[in-house]
Amino acid sequence: MTPSTQCQETKNMSSVSSTSNTGSAQLSTNQFLQLLVAQLQNQDPLNPVNPQDFVTQLATLNSVEGLNSLNTSFSQMLQLQQLTQGASLIGKTVNYTPTNGSPTTGTVSAVTAQNGQFVLTVGSNQVTLSQIQSLS
């Protein structure tokens, strides 16, 4: 492997790593480590890759994993907040606009989760939190 090819591989790995930050390419930890091992196995022994490049790549991987973990935590917090909002509406009268049209009023009797979204039961209707216009 020539030094220019080796340098290009390092740049390619960095770009794959950074694109996973934006979500356009998903690179798992195992896939990243496989690429790293392949790069180490195929490098020119007379001109090895700079160790700082590997440290940078590992730091980037660690950052991406941390961001993914943070996103998961925020998602769980949002679901809990929606559940709390929905539960606080039980027994209250709400004005809402159902998907079929005209504004309606009713009393919230239950909260359920459907397809990852919390849905209120108002009379015989299923109402999402985003359909509620006002509370009385």
Full-model pTM: 0.49
Rounded Cα distance between 36 and 77, Å, is: 35
Kindly give the confidence (pLDDT) of every residue in the chain, 136 residues in length, as a single tens digit, with 9 standing for 90 and above: 444 444 444 444 444 444 444 444 566 777 877 887 888 788 877 777 777 877 887 788 788 888 888 998 998 898 888 888 778 889 999 999 888 778 889 999 998 888 878 888 998 888 888 888 888 8
How far does CA 115 lie from the centroid of its chain? Answer: 16
Tens of pLDDT along 106-125? 999 998 888 878 888 998 88
Category of 116 on φ-ψ map: left (φ > 0), alpha (ψ -120 to 50) or beta: left
